[in-house]
Amino acid sequence: MSFDLVIKGGTVATASDVFKADVGIKDGIITALGLGLTGAETIDATGKYVLPGGIDSHVHIAQPSGEGIVMADDFESGTLSGLFGGNTTLLPFCIQEKGKSLREALTAYHAKADGNCYTDVSFHLVISDPSESVLGQELPAAVADGYTSFKVFMTYQDLRLNDAEILQVMDTARRTGALAMVHCENEDAIRFLIDKHVAEGKLGPPSHASTRPLAVEREATHRAISLAEVVDVPVVIVHVSNGAAMEEIERARARGLNVTGETCPQYIRLTEQDLEGMNWEGAKQVCSPPPRTRAEWDNIWRGIQNGVFDVFSSDHCPFRYDDERGKLNPKGRTDFRHIPNGIPGVETRMPILFSEGVNQGRIDITRFVALTATNHAKTYGLYPNKGTIAVGSDADITLWDPEAETVIRHADLHDGSDYSPYEGLAVKGLPMTVILRGKVMIRDRELVGAKGDGGYLPRGLSMKVRPAA
């Protein structure tokens, strides 16, 4: 058998196995795992892990973000940054604006993405206006076209759905086989606390965290799971920040419910104290749910270790800090209510989890692969084409040096923001070479691929979705 490319001498790690093998690639597909393979091109992977390319199933790129606010990444910079972070597939959100159709949203988003990507991408929808035509026609048509997951919000006045609407949307998920993701924070409770903070003149970035306390997230998590139970549909609880919300997932699973949990780097590396900064610097760490306490880091690690969390995503949602259209916009520079929510992190997600998780002995390499690639593919209808190293899978591969060390500096990253929340964090373990469908995109940390090498992926149904009875 002849191969276009052979990755030789490395240690292949999947979500279940670790073994020495060469990987033979032909026409962008893994066609053999064996020993002594030869091909037209060879890459020496001695001393490296040969991993499935990372899949980050929760990123925001070029998303409309309110008047005067511009997200720091377009598809070019966002996917380039993702690629340098060891990812070969990103799943950004395509937001339906109120009063507009899903088609309009998808057309506008494809116009931004198509031809501009360094990784493969596939969109989740965000349903903000569940009208009769959206639920009856548009969403089923979108699912049939491969947009097989969507997110709903329980917070943000312009995005939130009430319980009746969430039930309707979940019911549509049940009928179509789509997978519902929920942002769990109780908007009314947040409003109540915001009013109090404003009356007391507490307008600084720390108020972002104190108006979104743990109970706000825990209650909404319990409610989202209960609504999914009523409809009898699987649900993904995204960006879980603390142990109390996590325990809602654990309890639901113990009752036999089909609940997927996601957490993110900010919940094992940032705290609410990071929102206190001189010169409004705390605005850099404003995201929702907010970072919690060090005690919560331990709770989140427990869920990463014991399987409550299936996926570890970045929730990359980048805004520039020192920018009139970013965190320091004219209103945001004096009032936390106008600081755009979100932090960059698509490039640092995998190094942080590897360094803090694998290198520090909290998780093994197979769990790392599950959390950063395989479970994303299984959850969002991309498996087994993506997310594993197996004969027949796309040759999306990251060669990972477990000994390479660096200190995170935004100056070395590739996103369009002007800071990293993790500036100064030492990490050990880095992606060195990244291969997308058999094409070397990054070789020894140098870009060799081109914009447009990444494509759009229609997806199948999630493996989490049971056939409707």
Which residues sit at the interface with ligand DUC, rule CB under 6 A?
60, 183, 239, 287-288, 315, 317, 341-342
**Which of ligand DUC, Zn ion, none does 376 bind, CB closer than 5 to 8 A by kind?**
none
Q: Please, are residues 86 and 398 in contact by the beta-carbon 8 Å criterion?
A: yes
Taking the complex as a whole, how short is the minimal distance between the CB of residue 287 and ligand DUC, in angstroms? 6
**Which of ligand DUC, Zn ion, none does 394 bind, CB closer than 5 to 8 A by kind?**
none
The DSSP line for 124-147 is EEE-S---HHIIIIIHHHHHHTT-
Nearer to ligand DUC, 228 or 237 (CB): 237
Closest CA to 78 of 349, 285, 401, 383: 349
Taking the complex as a whole, how short is the minimal distance between the CB of residue 155 and Zn ion, in angstroms? 8
CB contact set of 330 (below 8 Å; sequence gap of 6+): 68, 324
> Token pair of 328, please?
């320091």
Taking the complex as a whole, how short is the minimal distance between the CB of residue 94 and Zn ion, in angstroms? 13
The SS3 call for residue 247 is: helix
Taking the complex as a whole, how short is the minimal distance between the CB of residue 249 and Zn ion, in angstroms? 16
**Which of Zn ion, ligand DUC, none does 208 bind, CB closer than 5 to 8 A by kind?**
none
Nearer to ligand DUC, 130 or 342 (CB): 342
Taking the C-alpha atoms of residue 298 and residue 242, their distance in angstroms, rounded to an integer, is 9
Per-residue burial over 151-173, b = 16 or more CB atoms within 10 Å of its CB, e = otherwise: bbbbbeeebbbeeebbbbbbbbb
**Which of ligand DUC, Zn ion, none does 222 bind, CB closer than 5 to 8 A by kind?**
none
Nearer to Zn ion, 73 or 315 (CB): 315
Nearer to ligand DUC, 288 or 355 (CB): 288
**Which of Zn ion, ligand DUC, none does 320 bind, CB closer than 5 to 8 A by kind?**
none
Residues composing the chain: 469
Taking the C-alpha atoms of residue 179 and residue 105, their distance in angstroms, rounded to an integer, is 19
Taking the complex as a whole, how short is the minimal distance between the CB of residue 60 and ligand DUC, in angstroms? 6
Taking the complex as a whole, how short is the minimal distance between the CB of residue 271 and ligand DUC, in angstroms? 18
**Which of ligand DUC, Zn ion, none does 378 bind, CB closer than 5 to 8 A by kind?**
none
Q: Please, are residues 169 and 152 in contact by the beta-carbon 8 Å criterion?
A: yes
Taking the complex as a whole, how short is the minimal distance between the CB of residue 288 and Zn ion, in angstroms? 6
Taking the complex as a whole, how short is the minimal distance between the CB of residue 156 and ligand DUC, in angstroms? 7
Nearer to ligand DUC, 343 or 408 (CB): 343
Which burial class, exposed, middle or buried, applies to 1 when counting CB atoms under 10 A from its CB (0-12, 13-18, 19+)? Answer: exposed
Amino acid letter for position 298: D
Nearer to ligand DUC, 63 or 299 (CB): 63
Taking the complex as a whole, how short is the minimal distance between the CB of residue 183 and ligand DUC, in angstroms? 5
Taking the complex as a whole, how short is the minimal distance between the CB of residue 56 and ligand DUC, in angstroms? 12
Closest CA to 407 of 423, 385, 430: 423
Q: Please, are residues 79 and 454 in contact by the beta-carbon 8 Å criterion?
A: yes
Nearer to ligand DUC, 42 or 210 (CB): 210
Q: What is the DSSP letter of 174?
A: H
**Which of ligand DUC, Zn ion, none does 303 bind, CB closer than 5 to 8 A by kind?**
none
Residue 428 is inside which H or E element, if any? strand 426-436
CA 368 to chain centre: 15
Nearer to Zn ion, 37 or 287 (CB): 287
Nearer to Zn ion, 63 or 355 (CB): 63
CA dihedral 263, 156, 174, 240 (to 10 degrees): 10
Closest CA to 343 of 399, 290, 276: 290
**Which of Zn ion, ligand DUC, none does 142 bind, CB closer than 5 to 8 A by kind?**
none
Alpha helices, DSSP H, located in 73-213: 75-84, 102-113, 132-133, 139-144, 163-176, 187-199, 206-210
Nearer to Zn ion, 380 or 400 (CB): 380
**Which of ligand DUC, Zn ion, none does 174 bind, CB closer than 5 to 8 A by kind?**
none
In the complex, the residues that contact Zn ion under the rule CB under 5 A are: 183, 315
**Which of ligand DUC, Zn ion, none does 341 bind, CB closer than 5 to 8 A by kind?**
ligand DUC
